[in-house]
Amino acid sequence: MKDEGGEGMSKTIIKYLEDKTVKLLENKQALINSNQNSYVIESEMKQFIDSACHPMINKRINELIRISAKLTEQKNAVQVKILRAMEEHKAPDPDYEQERDFLEIQISIVDRSIEKKREYQRTFTHQVDRNLIEHPFISSTQPNEKTLEKMRDKGIIKMEKTGFRKLYYQNENGYLLVPYDSRVLIGLFKLWEVKGKSAQFTFEFRELLHTIYADINGGEYTQIHKSLQNLATTSIIMEEYLDPESGKRTRTRIHNPITDADIDRVNNKATIAFNSYLHKSLIVGNVVKISMALFNDLASPISKTLYLLLANKIKDNETILDYSKLVNHLDLHSYESYKANNLVKSSLEELKSFDFIKNFTIIKEGRSYSKILFEPSDWVRDIDVEEHASLSLGHL
Average pLDDT over every residue of 89-117: 91
pLDDT digits (tens, 9 = 90+) for 14-56: 999 999 999 998 888 888 888 878 888 889 889 999 999 888 8
Angle at which helix 179-194 crosses helix 301-315, to 10 degrees, equals 50
- Give how far the C-alpha of residue 107 lies from the chain's centroid of Cα atoms, to the nearest Å: 24
Q: How many CA atoms lie within 13 A of 26 on its CB side?
A: 6
Question: Residue 389 pLDDT > 80, yes or no?
Answer: no
pLDDT band for 393, please (50, 70, 90 cuts).
very low
Burial of 121 (0-12, 13-18, 19+ CB in 10 A): buried
Q: Which CATH entry fits the domain spanning 298-396: 2.60.40, 3.40.50, 2.30.30, 1.10.10? A: 1.10.10
The residue among 275, 268, 269, 266 whose CA lies nearest residue 231 is 275
Spell out the domain ranges in the chain.
Answer: 11-121, 124-292, 298-396
Select the more confidently predicted residue: 151 or 388.
151
pLDDT above 70 as % of the chain: 94
Q: Are 265 and 225 in contact (CB under 8 A)?
A: yes
Which of 87-101, 202-216, 298-312, 367-381 bottoms out in mean pLDDT, i.e. has the lowest?
87-101
Average pLDDT over every residue of 82-99: 88
CATH topology of domain 124-292: Arc Repressor Mutant, subunit A (1.10.10)
Select the more confidently predicted residue: 303 or 246.
303
The residue among 341, 308, 322 whose CA lies nearest residue 134 is 308
How far is residue 216's CA from residue 203's CA, in Å, rounded to a whole number?
15
Which phi and psi (to 5°) does residue 285 adopt?
85, 30
How far is residue 90's CA from residue 94's CA, in Å, rounded to a whole number?
12
Average pLDDT over every residue of 57-64: 91
Question: Residue 248 pLDDT > 90, yes or no?
Answer: yes
Burial of 5 (0-12, 13-18, 19+ CB in 10 A): exposed
> What pLDDT is stored for residue 8 in this prediction?
46
> Beta strand pairing status for 200-204 and 156-161?
unpaired
pLDDT digits (tens, 9 = 90+) for 191-247: 999 999 999 999 999 999 999 999 888 899 999 999 999 999 999 999 999 998 888
> What pLDDT is stored for residue 384 in this prediction?
61
Q: Are 182 and 188 in contact (CB under 8 A)?
A: no
> What pLDDT is stored for residue 287 in this prediction?
96
Cα maximum dimension of the chain: 84
pLDDT band for 70, please (50, 70, 90 cuts).
very high
pLDDT band for 387, please (50, 70, 90 cuts).
low
Kindly report the average pLDDT of the chain as a whole number: 90
> What pLDDT is stored for residue 386 in this prediction?
56
> What pLDDT is stored for residue 144 in this prediction?
82
Same fold, 124-292 and 298-396: yes
Q: Reduced to 3 states, what is the DSSP secondary structure of residue 357? A: strand
CA 21-53-122 angle, 5° bins: 160
DSSP 198: -
> What pLDDT is stored for residue 385 in this prediction?
55
> What pLDDT is stored for residue 394 in this prediction?
33
Question: Residue 91 pLDDT > 90, yes or no?
Answer: no
